[in-house]
Amino acid sequence: MPDVNIHSLKALAIFKTLFEAGSASQAARTLGITQSGVSRSLSQLEQNLGLELFLREKNRLVATPEARELYEEILRLMGNIDELRHSVLALKEFGTSRLRIAAIPGLAFGFVPRLVAALLEDNRGFSISFDMMSSHDVLREVESGHADIGFVTLPVTSRQLRVEEWLTTHARCLVPRGHPLATRTAVNIGDLEDQYLVISNQPNVGADPLLNLATTHGIHIGGKTEANIGAITALVANGVGVSVMNPITATDQLSQRDGVVVLPFTPEIDFSFGLVYREDWKHARALEFIRACGRELLKEYPG
Amino acid sequence: MPDVNIHSLKALAIFKTLFEAGSASQAARTLGITQSGVSRSLSQLEQNLGLELFLREKNRLVATPEARELYEEILRLMGNIDELRHSVLALKEFGTSRLRIAAIPGLAFGFVPRLVAALLEDNRGFSISFDMMSSHDVLREVESGHADIGFVTLPVTSRQLRVEEWLTTHARCLVPRGHPLATRTAVNIGDLEDQYLVISNQPNVGADPLLNLATTHGIHIGGKTEANIGAITALVANGVGVSVMNPITATDQLSQRDGVVVLPFTPEIDFSFGLVYREDWKHARALEFIRACGRELLKEYPG
DNA sequence: GTATGCGATGAGTTTGAGTCATGCCTGATG
DNA sequence: CATCAGGCATGACTCAAACTCATCGCATAC
């Protein structure tokens, strides 16, 4: 029984051109080979597959329904090969074609998606997987090799990972438009006396820097709502309370939302985030590219 | 710049074996060629792709991370090629590798799925799409070429389509266990006097054969619920009423459901279903195979 | 009838995949 | 330390597959 051999893509490619061209002569011209080459390739392919692909009617080649279906299958395969080709290009250029990213929620709805878009714009060959998780889990994922790079808030401690600071800035105060504080040019911790606060629900509850700051300054707050960082601006916009958060996440979320005023906040609460990756990634050419994209991107953020 | 050529699958296959084997000599043994052939193929592939796939360390080949990624990509591609191979096999055997089926709801939850399973069991190369719709829409889909074959209740009229009767039988009466009629050995239309009926909600409301029969026999029914044919046995099982339906659909639905008794019904209400396909499909080898599968399947249904 | 375009095919040529023989290197062994 | 075994690279060669060339038969257009 003729085993369906697919030794040569060439025969498939010739068939594809032939099918598209409609005649062997035309296909030959397109391919830059002779008509006899096409004719031979076809008859050989037919023999190989055990399929009659073209009827020879009145000295013309007429595609059979089988040829039509095979053509579609081949189109699919060519697409797959194209993907492989793209992967190879990414592999050449960046040393990898697969980039698994883990990031904290504060960066996962704006900054990292934009970074991913920028990366893909330069090379469609990248196959990217992107997960959002807590800073601690980001470290674990990168350490264990389940992710290639991670974005975390600094400082972090990890013996195994390289840590690269990308940005250090200060937290801003988010105030609903119409709120008494909204007309100020800056907000001080003292202004938050008796204010209702919206804060991020971090895993370590006592670690919220704003609450700690309030405590050390003897400020009594009016109450607090903990929420996922992705929902905080929405809560602020709806007048639930005021919040203090890093300007990156704030900018990401406020780009489409009105009704929130962003003000400087004192005393300064440091916010620092960066990139982590395993030791064995230190030479990956992709890193340099990611850094460049990130630098470019950060310019678009205030501060 | 070296254009990433993927002329030969052979080189990729050799690389794959090499990667799996870990050494060129072993790969050569596996492939039944010589070590020098593998060595050449590799260095050529590396040149082609412009990638260093193996480091030559102390006279051993050591895979680079790039090689690892390429290997995974190649695995994927090989899988795709395998799919193509299967399609070709289906194409050889049945003249098609794609089968688009449209069927009426009464057959869509049991008979046709089982038929599809039987087809796939014989040849995994089939790519099947299956839709459920009204008998009228089935005809339209097949006529328009959106579906290759259709299953409908007969009789149908279509100038363009070939119609093939597969089974003619008589409708049965479905009675909830515990119902006064449940102990009978057969049910006559007269027995339905004052009974609550569950009937299929066909598009043409006045066309329900059971209701028509009742009318002509002067039978007064206690009431009726129209329901999707897929839900009728469930309604009967829960004591909503009795129903009369074709034995194929009944069997399909009752296989996992207790609480319903199926009885012969008089006078006989004919039920006939069959296959429709376009003229240009009359020679498709797949048809013969589908018929065989169908015949086999029908044996498992009662009478 | 002639010209043109298409496909098939026998004969000849080119190409490149694979083999053979060989050399180099390294790590194990006694 | 000497030897040996196993692994990779490479120059020279071989051979089959792929392609070209030349030519033929067939259909259609003018």
- The β-bridge relationship of strands B127-132 and B98-103 is parallel
Q: Given an 8 Å threshold on Cβ–Cβ distance, is B88 in contact with A49? A: yes
Q: What is the pLDDT of residues A57-103, one digit of tens each?
A: 888 888 888 888 899 889 988 888 888 888 888 888 788 888 889 99
Q: A187, A263 in Cβ contact below 8 A?
A: yes
Average pLDDT of the segment spanning A209-235:
85
Residue of B nearest to A95 (CA): B66
Q: What is the pLDDT of residues A250-301, one digit of tens each?
A: 888 776 667 888 899 988 998 899 999 998 787 778 888 889 989 888 888 8
Give the model's pLDDT for residue B71: 92
**What is the per-residue DSSP string for A155-205?**
P---SSEEEEEEEEEE-EEEEETTSGGGG-S-EEGGGGTT-EEEEE--SSG
A172-268 maps to CATH 3.30.470.20: no
Query: Is the per-residue pLDDT at B2 higher than 50?
Result: no
Q: What is the pLDDT of residues B138-178, one digit of tens each?
A: 999 899 888 999 999 988 888 889 999 999 999 999 998 88
- Nearest nucleotide from residue A38 CA, by C1' atom: D19
Q: B25, A25 in Cβ contact below 8 A?
A: no
Q: Which amino acid is at B44?
A: Q
Q: Estimate to the nearest angstrom the gap between the alpha carbon of B246 and the chain centroid.
A: 21
CA-to-CA dists, residue A22 to A19, A38, A61, A70, A292, angstroms? 5, 12, 7, 15, 48
Query: Is the per-residue pLDDT at A2 higher than 90?
Result: no
- The β-bridge relationship of strands B260-266 and B187-188 is parallel
Q: Which amino acid is at A265?
A: F
Query: Is the per-residue pLDDT at B3 higher than 60?
Result: no
CA-to-CA dists, residue B264 to A30, A89, B214, B256, B267, angstroms? 69, 70, 16, 20, 9
Mutate: best of B14, B16, B69, B75, partner A, most A CBs <10 A: B69
Q: Which amino acid is at A279?
A: E
Q: Given an 8 Å threshold on Cβ–Cβ distance, is B6 in contact with A84? A: yes
Q: Given an 8 Å threshold on Cβ–Cβ distance, is A85 in contact with B51? A: no
Q: Which residue has the tokens 């059979």?
A: A64
Which residues are CB-contacts of B280 (< 8 A; sequence separation ≥ 6)?
none
Alpha-carbon dihedral angle through residues A172, A178, A183, A186, given to the nearest 10 degrees: -20
- For residue B142, which of B104, B109, B97 has the smallest C-alpha distance? B104
Average pLDDT of the segment spanning A128-152:
89
Cα(A64)–Cα(A187) distance, integer angstroms: 77
Burial class of residue B214 (count of CB atoms within 10 Å of its CB; 0-12, 13-18, 19+): buried
| Interatomic distance B90 CA / C18 C1' (Å) | 34
Cα(A200)–Cα(A229) distance, integer angstroms: 5
Footprint of strand D on the protein (CB under 7 A): A 7-8, 10-11, 14, 28, 32-37, 40-41, 44, 58-59; B 23-26, 35-36, 39-40, 42-43, 54, 56, 59-61
Residue of A nearest to B67 (CA): A91
Q: What is the pLDDT of residues B183-219, one digit of tens each?
A: 899 999 989 988 888 888 876 656 788 888 888 888 8
Instruction: Tell me the shortest Cα–Cα distance from B295 to chain A, in angstroms.
Output: 26
User: B95-168+272-298 has which fold?
Assistant: D-Maltodextrin-Binding Protein; domain 2 (3.40.190)
CB pairs < 8 Å spanning A and B: 88
User: A9-93 has which fold?
Assistant: Arc Repressor Mutant, subunit A (1.10.10)
Helix A65-94, helix A9-21: angle, nearest 10: 120
Q: Taking all residues of chain B, what is their mean pLDDT, rounded to a whole number?
A: 86
Q: What is the pLDDT of residues B281-301, one digit of tens each?
A: 877 788 888 999 898 888 888
Give the model's pLDDT for residue A1: 34
Query: Is the per-residue pLDDT at A209 higher than 60?
Result: yes
Q: A164 pLDDT band (50/70/90 cuts)?
A: very high
Whether residue A49 lies within 8 A of chain B, CB to CB, comes out as: yes
Bases in strand D with any atom closer than 7 Å to a protein CB = 6-11, 18-23, 25-28
- For residue B89, which of A4, A119, A10 has the smallest C-alpha distance? A4
**What is the per-residue DSSP string for A215-247?**
HHTTPPPSEEEEE-GGGHHHHHHTTS-BEEE-H
**Which long-range contacts link A252-257 to residues 24+ away (Cβ below 8 Å)?**
A252/A107, A252/A109, A252/A110, A252/A111, A253/A109, A253/A110, A255/A110, A257/A233
| Interatomic distance B23 CA / D2 C1' (Å) | 28
- For residue A293, which of A166, A163, A118, A147 has the smallest C-alpha distance? A118
Which residues are CB-contacts of A299 (< 8 A; sequence separation ≥ 6)?
none
> Hey, what are A186's tokens?
């800056």
Cα(B152)–Cα(B105) distance, integer angstroms: 9
Identify the helix (H) or strand (E) that includes residue B223: strand B223-227
- Which DSSP letter does residue B185 get? S
- For residue A77, which of A8, A125, A28 has the smallest C-alpha distance? A8
Which residues are CB-contacts of A269 (< 8 A; sequence separation ≥ 6)?
A170, A171, A209, A210, A213, A244
Give the model's pLDDT for residue A276: 94
- The β-bridge relationship of strands A223-227 and A196-200 is parallel
Query: Is the per-residue pLDDT at B1 higher than 50?
Result: no
Q: Which residue of A4, A88, A89 is in closest CB contact with B85?
A: A4
Scan residues 17-36 of chain A and list those with Cβ within 7 Å of strand C: 23-26, 35-36
Give the model's pLDDT for residue A256: 62
Average pLDDT of the segment spanning A221-242:
84
Give the model's pLDDT for residue B257: 63
Helices and strands in chain A: count of H runs, count of E runs: 11, 13
Cα(B209)–Cα(B200) distance, integer angstroms: 10
C-alpha gyration radius of chain B: 30
Q: Given an 8 Å threshold on Cβ–Cβ distance, is A76 in contact with B77? A: no
Q: B154, B217 in Cβ contact below 8 A?
A: no
Q: What is the pLDDT of residues B5-46, one digit of tens each?
A: 677 788 999 999 999 988 989 989 988 999 999 999 999 999
Q: Given an 8 Å threshold on Cβ–Cβ distance, is A96 in contact with B4? A: no
Whether residue A250 lies within 8 A of chain B, CB to CB, comes out as: no
> Hey, what are A300's tokens?
């678009």
Helices and strands in chain B: count of H runs, count of E runs: 11, 13
| Interatomic distance A58 CA / D25 C1' (Å) | 11
Give the model's pLDDT for residue B5: 67
Identical fold, B95-168+272-298 and B172-268 = yes
Q: Given an 8 Å threshold on Cβ–Cβ distance, is B70 in contact with A92? A: no
Domain limits of chain A?
Answer: 9-93, 95-165+272-298, 172-268
Q: Which amino acid is at B19?
A: F
Residue A139 has a CB neighbour count (10 Å cut-off) of 22
Residues of chain B contacting residue A85, judged by C-beta atoms under 8 Å apart: 4, 6
- Which DSSP letter does residue A145 get? T
User: A95-165+272-298 has which fold?
Assistant: D-Maltodextrin-Binding Protein; domain 2 (3.40.190)
Residues of chain A contacting residue B85, judged by C-beta atoms under 8 Å apart: 4, 6
At residue B269, φ and ψ (nearest 5 deg) are -105, 115
Range list of β-strands (E), chain A: 54-57, 60-63, 98-103, 127-132, 149-154, 161-170, 172-176, 187-188, 196-200, 223-227, 243-245, 260-266, 270-278
Which residues are CB-contacts of B58 (< 8 A; sequence separation ≥ 6)?
none
Bases in strand C with any atom closer than 7 Å to a protein CB = 5-10, 17-22, 24-27
